[in-house]
Amino acid sequence: MNLSSEQKYLPFTRPSLDEETISAVVEVLRSGWLSTGPQVKNFEESLAEYLNTNNTHRTSSVSRVVKSFTSATEALEVALRVCGIGPGDEVITPSFSFVATSNVILKIGATPVFVDVDLGTRNLKLEDIPKVITQKTKAIMPVHFAGRSVDLQELYYYANKFNLRVIEDAAHAIGSSWQGEKIGSRGDIVVFSFHPNKNITTIEGGAISIDANRSTEIKEIELHRFHGIIKDADNNTDVLIAGGKSNLSDVAACVGVGQLKQLDRFNQRRKELVELYYKLLSVTEKQRSLLQLPLYPQDQLNREGHSWHMFTPLLNLKKLKITRQEFISSMHKLGIGVGIHYPAIHLFELYGKLGYKRGDFPNTEEIGATTITLPLFPAMEDSDVHRVCAAINTLFSTH
């Protein structure tokens, strides 16, 4: 692949780290306090403040507490345990997500009960929830896919009707909002991810947001996070549960503090880039017939509340003369990275053992077979979007 200096390889995502954050990390390294310490406290309090105050309006005065983890996967598992979910229980979750969402359900001995997703929004078809409710159902774990919030009013209507816990997988949705309220500023338990490909990063990491009044569950979260250990005023140790170890380091938290300051700017830039994608990829009838763009929110509040973690159109492979992999390889040769987010979970071998099979979730299977992830990150220039769209148009003209 020969690229000119103006045509450097464009990945589908890349974290944005400023010099101020890098310098702050150096200071943490020099401090000698590398594990959980003052930086973790600062990050958790800063994120809680962001969730508690950065809203268009509030319907509740309840504040949130944030507890950080080494990954969102660990946070999801702890959230399930805190909700008392275990062997014999069922958890409703979308069949379209990263596999971690359903894996943690299996890991604690419960059973994931899949529901298909909407073809346009890629979010859980909430109207299908009553169809899969049984006496074993204990919780719903929706995913705010690519930063677009699920309908929280409808979600919690079903949760309240059937007396279910809700664990919102908001791995894609830091900075997203629903009807003017930040995801994580309300609701049952909300889990964020700070993996390097997310809208902000702590290198690796995640967090739980929970109502500040639920002190018993907050203490249980802390126990699960660090070996079940408690200490008294004299520093005597006791162990209450067989907890794990998923406490965030100060180095990681320091990165998160710097990133959080820039979150709104990052997300605003993502929205601008996506607007340009929509403009350039829906000009002609050919484009519209060969590439199905994600459904754009029509409601102004929810349009503003979409944080655009990813931009994931669907290829119309029935009309194209190339496969998805050939499309991706061709884009790579042009110096443009394209990802796949995600394959259908229920078609993995592990979930076939639970009885799931091809044909169970048509929308998920169509998305899983045709989705592509185009470059989207705050450091991109408008010219990068023009370049991606020009490359796509070239491939469409050829194939």
Catalytically annotated residues:
198
| Residue 76 and residue 101 in contact, taking contact as beta carbons nearer than 8 Å | yes
Distance from CA of residue 379 to its chain's centroid?
A: 20
Phi-psi group of 228: left, alpha or beta (phi > 0 → left; psi -120 to 50 → alpha; rest → beta): left
| Residue 224 and residue 82 in contact, taking contact as beta carbons nearer than 8 Å | yes
At a CB cut-off of 8 Å and minimum separation 6, what does 38 contact?
A: 250
Instruction: Label residue 340 exposed, middle or buried (CB < 10 Å: 0-12, 13-18, 19+).
Output: middle
| Residue 172 and residue 310 in contact, taking contact as beta carbons nearer than 8 Å | yes
From residue 340, alpha-carbon distances to 97, 258, 259 in Å are 11, 29, 26
Residues 172 and 140: their CA atoms lie apart, in Å, by: 17
Question: Which of 135, 140, 162 lies closest to 152, judged by CA?
Answer: 140
Question: Which of 208, 185, 189 lies closest to 57, judged by CA?
Answer: 185
From residue 214, alpha-carbon distances to 65, 94, 221, 343 in Å are 9, 27, 11, 37
What are phi and psi for residue 214, nearest 5 degrees?
-90, 65
Residues 361 and 150: their CA atoms lie apart, in Å, by: 19
Distance from CA of residue 157 to its chain's centroid?
A: 23
| Residue 172 and residue 142 in contact, taking contact as beta carbons nearer than 8 Å | no
Residues 63 and 218: their CA atoms lie apart, in Å, by: 13
CA torsion, ordered 286, 289, 290, 291, to nearest 10 deg: 110
State the sign of the Cα–Cα–Cα–Cα dihedral 290, 294, 298, 303: negative
Indicate the SS3 state at residue 205: coil
